[in-house]
Amino acid sequence: MGFLTEMGGKESHAAILARAMGIPAVLGVEGVLSRIKKGDFLIVDGNLGLIAVNPPEEIIQGYRQVREKIETRRESLHFLISSPTVTREGRPFKLMGNIGNLIDLEFALRVQADGIGLFRTELPFIRAERFLSEEEQFDIYRTVVERMNPREVTIRTLDLGGDKFLKIPHPEKKPVLGYRSTRFF
What would the pLDDT profile of 95-137 be if each residue is shown by its tens digit?
Answer: 999 999 998 999 999 999 999 999 988 889 888 888 889 999 9
What would the pLDDT profile of 27-56 be if each residue is shown by its tens digit?
Answer: 999 999 899 999 999 999 998 989 999 999
pLDDT tier for residue 182 given thresholds of 50, 70 and 90: low
Angle (CA) 23-28-32 rounded to 5° is: 95
What would the pLDDT profile of 12-31 be if each residue is shown by its tens digit?
Answer: 878 887 887 789 999 999 99
Amino acid present at 12: S
**What pLDDT score does 63 carry?**
94
Contact call for residues 137 and 157 (beta carbons, < 8 A): no
Other residues' Cβ atoms within 10 Å of the Cβ of residue 58: 8
The residue ranges of every structural domain in the chain are 3-76, 84-184
pTM over 0.75: no
What CA–CA distance (Å, rounded) separates 159 from 176? 11
Q: What is the dihedral of CA 145, 153, 104, 137, to 10 degrees?
A: 60
Q: Which residues contact 75 (CB under 8 A, 6 or more apart)?
A: none
What would the pLDDT profile of 66-97 be if each residue is shown by its tens digit?
Answer: 999 988 988 888 888 888 899 999 999 999 99
| 3-76 to CATH, choices 3.40.50.720, 1.25.40.80, 3.50.50.60, 3.50.30.10 | 3.50.30.10
Cis peptide before 24 (omega within 30 of 0): no
**What pLDDT score does 86 carry?**
94
